[in-house]
């Protein structure tokens, strides 16, 4: 992936830096990001829109990996930013991210979060439900403000990897149903409001999707509705946000498209359908998370103990696990890995990689072919850049690993390692004493 290669010493190298030296310097576990690859992915999306002559915003879905340094990188690349909480918004403000390119998502934004978004004058709020619509209108009235919104609709298409399900009504906690009049009702109410300006519609059909069929179906359904709404309410959608969800290759079984290919096929469909319905081509927004940062991330671990279950398997334990990557335990997600310090050595055995949490389910990889490895070795797990650090936790009071960016033979720490002091900093001593 990206700039990753094996150097003369037989070590894994990323961004021109030997990861063995990174392990010596920063310790393990360690998240490493190949910055050049993130830039390449971002430019891949942006250039395709430019080549197609379509006005667009590519918003980085920061839930995939939210950190000040990451948001600054997204800004350098001219991306917009999708945030889903006050915490992500706060991080974006700390990063100096231009507020007008921030979009705020979420199915239960609090009054405080909405006020915060208004105070920072962010570009757009993606309104999810009637409660939020009314709340936002009342806050805007109080403050005599007007804010741009998108209405999040659920078009009745659920997509996951190769499968997509077409349903009349989508059973999802998100958005206004496009098929049962909810979305129409939301539009009518919003158009009558003085505090909000409806820029357009948003939908997000799923994550880790390998085909464009679901996106195209969703776009078709929405454009069909937009055509109706133009005639009935003189409503014209300036923006159509098609969400994120473009898949990446975690293992050889995954067969994603190139970012450019996703965009091209979807745009062609939108152009065709808008032409058919005599609608102006809206501005297209997308919100990739995983496909911008997923394969740019590698997690480096030290191998520690081992256990042999005769005739069954050999377990090798690493110094991290479900704390820094919950995806195998949560979604049965699959990863590939190599020995970072002996990357050219021939495969000799099949082992299973165990995490260090007190939980049998803390298994990172089952049945991984590796050279004979022991406690002197480093394991590099690929494609951990999305939903790795951002879903990391302190179960068993294990501190979260640091994050280092590498590019052009330079390494830069963007999140430091959590210390034991960090772990107890919110704890308060017990004041109540036992009555004798």
- Nearest to ligand LLP of 43, 313 (CB atom): 43
Burial of 142: CB neighbours in 10 Å, binned 0-12, 13-18, 19+: exposed
Q: Pick the piece of the chain touching ligand LLP (CB under 6 A) from 219-227, 228-236, 275-283, 285-293.
A: 285-293
* Distance between start and end Cα atoms, the chain: 65
For 302, other C-beta atoms within 10 Å of its C-beta total 20
Question: Binder to ligand LLP among 26, 262, 387, 389 (CB under 6 A)?
Answer: 387
Rule CB under 6 A: say whether 132 interacts with ligand LLP.
Answer: no
Output the smallest distance, CB 135 to ligand LLP, in A.
Answer: 19
- Our finding on whether 290 is near ligand LLP (CB under 6 A) is yes
Catalytic residues: 358
Cα angle 241, 243, 249 (rounded to 5 degrees) comes to: 145
Is residue 356 involved in binding ligand LLP (CB under 6 A)?
A: no
Residue span 215-244 as binding mask against ligand LLP, x where in contact by CB under 6 A, dash where not: ----------------------------xx
What CA–CA distance (Å, rounded) separates 122 from 147? 8
Please report, as residue ranges, which positions from 195 to 214 form the binding site for ligand LLP (by CB under 6 A): 204, 207-208
**Does the annotation flag 184 for ligand binding?**
no
What string of DSSP letters covers 380-415?
Answer: EEES-SSSSGGG---GGGPPPPPEEEEETTEEEEEE
425: Cβ–Cβ under 8 A, 6 or more apart, which residues? none
Q: Which stretch binds ligand LLP (CB under 6 A): 28-36, 50-58, 127-135, 282-290?
A: 282-290
Does 289 show up as a binding residue in the annotation? yes
Main-chain phi, psi angles of 303, to 5 degrees? -85, 140
Asked whether residue 158 is marked as a ligand-binding residue, the answer is no
Tell whether residue 297 is a contact of ligand LLP (CB under 6 A).
no
Q: Write down the least CB distance from residue 265 to ligand LLP, Å.
A: 16
Quote the CA–CA distance of 41 and 137 in Å, as a whole number.
Answer: 37
Q: If DSSP codes are grouped into helix, strand and coil, which group holds residue 174?
A: coil
291 binds ligand LLP (CB under 6 A): yes
**Residue 287 among known ligand-binding residues:** yes
Complex with ligand LLP: residue 12 or 270, whichever CB lies closer: 270
Q: Whole-number minimum distance, CB 185 to ligand LLP, in Å? A: 21
Q: Which of 195, 200, 288, 321 binds ligand LLP (CB under 6 A)?
A: 288
**Burial of residue 275, with CB atoms counted within 10 A of its CB: 0-12 exposed, 13-18 middle, 19 or more buried:** exposed
CB 58 within 8 A of CB 79: yes
Task: Using DSSP, state whether 418 is helix, strand or coil.
Answer: coil
Question: In angstroms, rounded to a whole number, what is the distance separating the alpha carbons of residues 36 and 32?
Answer: 12
Cα–Cα distance measured from residue 299 to residue 260, given in angstroms and rounded to the nearest whole number: 27
Q: Which of 273, 327, 342, 356 forms a contact with ligand LLP (CB under 6 A)?
A: 327
The annotation places the binding site for pyridoxal 5'-phosphate at: 245, 287-290, 387
Binding-site residue numbers for substrate are 290, 327, 331, 359, 387
Q: Which residues bind ligand LLP (CB under 6 A)?
A: 61, 64, 82, 105, 204, 207-208, 243-246, 287-291, 327, 331, 386-387
């Amino acid at each position: 992936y990206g700039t990753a290669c094996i150097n003369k010493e037989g070590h894994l190298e990323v961004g021109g830096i030997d990861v063995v030296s990174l392990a010596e310097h920063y310790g393990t576990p360690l998240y490493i990001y190949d910055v050049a690859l993130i830039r390449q992915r971002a430019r891949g999306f942006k250039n395709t829109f430019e080549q197609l002559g379509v006005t667009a915003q590519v918003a980085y879905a920061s839930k995939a990996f939210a950190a000040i340094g990451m948001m600054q990188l997204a800004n350098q690349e001219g991306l917009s930013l999708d945030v889903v909480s006050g915490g992500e918004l706060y991080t974006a403000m700390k990063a100096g991210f231009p507020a007008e390119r921030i979009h705020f998502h979420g199915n239960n934004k609090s009054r405080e979060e909405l006020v915060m978004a208004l105070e920072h004058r962010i570009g757009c709020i993606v309104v999810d439900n009637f409660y939020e619509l009314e709340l936002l209108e009342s806050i805007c009235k109080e403050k005599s403000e007007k804010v741009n919104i998108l209405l999040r609709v659920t078009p009745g298409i659920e997509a996951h990897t190769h499968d997509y399900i077409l349903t009349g009504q989508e059973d999802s906690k998100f958005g206004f149903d496009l098929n049962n009049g909810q979305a129409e009702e939301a539009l009518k109410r919003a158009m009558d409001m003085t505090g909000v300006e409806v820029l357009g519609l948003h939908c997000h059909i799923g994550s880790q999707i390998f085909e464009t069929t679901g996106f195209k179906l969703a776009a078709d359904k929405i454009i069909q509705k937009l055509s109706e709404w133009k005639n009935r309410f003189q409503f014209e959608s300036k923006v159509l946000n098609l969400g994120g969800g473009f898949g990446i290759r975690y293992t050889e079984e995954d067969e994603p498209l190139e970012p450019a290919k996703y965009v091209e096929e979807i745009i062609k469909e939108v152009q065709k359908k808008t032409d058919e319905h005599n609608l102006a081509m809206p501005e297209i927004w997308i919100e990739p998370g995983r496909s911008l940062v997923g394969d740019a991330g590698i997690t480096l671990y030290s191998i520690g103990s081992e256990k042999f279950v005769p005739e069954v398997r050999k377990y090798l334990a690493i110094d991290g696990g479900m704390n820094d990557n919950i995806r195998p335990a949560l979604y049965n997600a699959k990863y590939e890995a190599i020995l970072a310090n002996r990357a050219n050595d021939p495969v000799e055995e099949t082992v299973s990689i165990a995490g260090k949490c007190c939980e049998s389910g803390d298994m990172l990889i089952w049945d991984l072919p590796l050279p004979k490895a022991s406690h002197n070795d480093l394991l590099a797990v690929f494609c951990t850049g999305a939903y790795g650090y951002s879903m990391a936790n302190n179960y068993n009071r294990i501190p979260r690993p640091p994050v280092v960016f590498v590019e052009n033979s330079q390494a830069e720490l963007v999140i430091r390692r959590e210390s034991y002091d960090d772990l107890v900093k919110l704890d308060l001593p017990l004041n109540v004493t036992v009555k004798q």
